[in-house]
Every structure is written in structure tokens, then in C-alpha cells.
């Protein structure tokens, strides 16, 4: 959800990510560059750097100084890199690919049966959910990004709480997929089933989509949309190579 989450399983080497061993263990911390922190109260901060410290995030401010916030107060962290914009309007529709659940749709991957059930419960296309699980965590329910996103579909604790799931339950695939499906259904309804806007909302937050009047110009958000489109065998967005 938070950009293309850079994740690590418990057996993977530490690069620019954090690996969670158990919920009760102390997490290692790795500083990483970022530029925008979106808060749950609607505010956003320009930040020079950030560091995940267990259940808190240390945000370094561009002018000096730092803030230490509970992770549950942070909705997203977005790399503020602006991508070149195409000269023509970008299509947002994906003809022939329904985002809402229909009979006969099937998820793919190691958690297909779980995603099929959860997607049907909340009226979301399970194939979309499995493509997102592939992009977000490579289907790893123990994945933890350096931005604090967790689990199979890489939800931030604050987002999970919005949709009725406590942060400590995000490591459970069922709870993680349930929160994700609820959020996707909210985005599908909010953006009238337009795939690019739904994916942009999942990655950068629905507020960013509304603020920009469409897909935000963030390179990571646009790259995220393109990965999902490839996994779904859909044509690229206009202006993308």
C-alpha cells in the first residue's frame, strides 16, 4: 500500500528494510530517505529522513530537529519525487476489468483461497487483490516495509484501524486481507471503480488523489499502478513506457 513496499522475510538479508521476528521482539531500525509524511489528522509534513523505531517513527525535519510520533498517527510516507507528466490526458479506466466482485473471478498465488473468500465478502475482485499482494509483499504475510507497512497487503497500522483491524493483527493473513478488502471497497466506491484512482488511493491515500484531481505525480505511485497493470495483463497508462 505504501508505495511499492520494500519488504523482507525473516530469512532475507537486511538491506534498507526491517524484519519483524515476533511481535514481542525488539525491531531493528534502518534509516531511509523520504520527503512527505501524511498524518491521520490530514496534515502532511516535508521530512528530510525518517526511521522506524518499533511502534514509533522518527521524522527528521528539513530545517533541523525531529519529531517522534506513534506509528498509528502516520497514514503514509511518500517519496516526493515528481515524475514527468504526459502531454495528453491519462485514461483512468480499465475496460474489461471490473474492480467489483463477480461470479467466476479467482485470485492467484499461495493465498488464493483466502483472498477469494475475503474479496467475495466485501465485493472486490479477488484477482485485483492477488495482484496487489504480489506487488506489495510478494505474498509474504510477515513482510515489514521500512515505512512501517505490514503483512500480506502492506497496510499501515493507522489504515488498518480505520477499517476495524488492530495493528497487532496485521500479521495474520485473514485480518490483513480483511482490512485491505474493506479499504479497497471504500476506494472503489469513492472513485467509481476507476482502477488507476483506486490504486493511487491505496498507495498515496485518497486525499492525495483528490488534492491533485487524479493520479498524483509521485513517481512511486505511478510506478505502483504500472506494476499492478502488468500483473493484471492490462495496457500501460498513456504516457508511460
- Contacts of 65-72 with C-beta under 8 Å, sequence gap 24+, read 69/39, 71/148, 71/156, 71/157, 71/158, 71/167, 72/40, 72/157, 72/158, 72/161, 72/167
**What are the chain's domains?**
112-231 (1.10.530.10)
pLDDT, residue 241, reads 42
The Cα angle at residue 166 between residues 163 and 168, in degrees rounded to 5:
145
pLDDT, residue 30, reads 39
Q: Report d(CA 106, CA 97) in Å as an integer.
A: 13
CA distances in angstroms from 207 to 40, 162, 199, 212, listed in the order given: 11, 14, 13, 9
Q: What's the predicted TM-score (pTM) here?
A: 0.79
DSSP 85: P
Blockwise average pLDDT, block size 10, the chain, 241 residues: 42 31 32 71 88 94 92 88 60 72 94 97 98 97 95 96 94 98 98 96 93 92 95 79 42
Residue indicated by cell numbers 511502534:
55
| Phi (first) and psi of residue 133, to 5 degrees | -65, -35
Q: Which residue intervals of 19-125 are DSSP H helices?
A: 112-122
Q: Report d(CA 69, CA 106) in Å as an integer.
A: 40
Q: Is 96 exposed, middle or buried (0-12, 13-18, 19+ CB in 10 A)?
A: exposed
Q: Report d(CA 232, CA 194) in Å as an integer.
A: 15
pLDDT, residue 66, reads 95
Do 147 and 5 form a contact (C-beta atoms < 8 A)? Answer: yes
pLDDT, residue 161, reads 95
Catalytic residues: 136
pLDDT, residue 27, reads 34
Tell me which residue of 45, 26, 55, 215 sits closest to 150, measured CA to CA.
55
Amino acid at each position: 500500500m505504501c508505495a511499492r513496499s520494500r519488504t523482507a522475510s525473516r530469512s532475507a538479508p537486511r538491506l534498507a528494510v526491517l524484519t519483524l521476528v515476533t511481535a514481542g521482539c525488539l525491531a531493528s531500525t534502518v534509516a531511509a530517505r523520504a520527503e512527505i509524511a501524511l498524518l491521520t489528522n490530514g496534515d502532511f509534513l516535508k521530512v528530510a529522513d525518517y526511521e522506524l523505531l518499533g511502534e514509533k517513527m522518527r521524522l527528521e525535519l528539513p530545517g533541523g530537529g525531529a519529531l517522534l510520533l506513534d506509528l498509528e498517527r502516520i497514514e503514509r510516507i511518500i517519496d516526493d519525487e515528481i515524475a514527468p507528466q504526459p502531454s495528453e490526458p491519462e485514461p483512468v479506466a480499465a475496460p474489461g476489468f471490473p474492480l467489483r466482485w463477480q461470479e467466476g473471478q479467482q485470485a492467484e498465488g499461495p493465498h488464493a483461497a483466502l483472498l477469494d473468500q475475503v474479496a467475495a465478502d466485501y465485493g472486490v475482485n479477488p484477482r485485483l487483490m492477488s495482484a496487489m499482494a504480489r506487488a506489495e509483499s510478494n505474498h509474504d504475510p510477515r513482510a515489514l516495509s521500512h515505512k512501517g507497512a505490514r503483512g500480506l497487503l502492506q497496510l499501515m497500522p493507522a489504515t488498518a484501524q480505520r477499517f476495524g483491524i488492530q495493528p497487532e493483527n496485521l500479521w495474520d493473513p485473514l485480518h490483513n486481507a480483511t482490512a485491505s478488502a474493506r479499504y479497497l471497497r471504500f476506494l472503489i466506491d469513492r472513485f467509481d471503480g476507476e482502477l488507476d484512482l483506486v490504486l493511487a488511493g491505496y498507495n498515496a491515500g485518497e486525499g492525495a488523489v483528490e488534492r491533485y484531481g487524479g493520479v498524483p505525480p509521485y513517481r512511486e505511485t505511478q510506478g505502483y499502478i504500472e506494476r499492478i497493470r502488468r500483473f493484471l495483463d492490462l495496457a500501460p497508462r498513456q504516457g508511460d513506457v
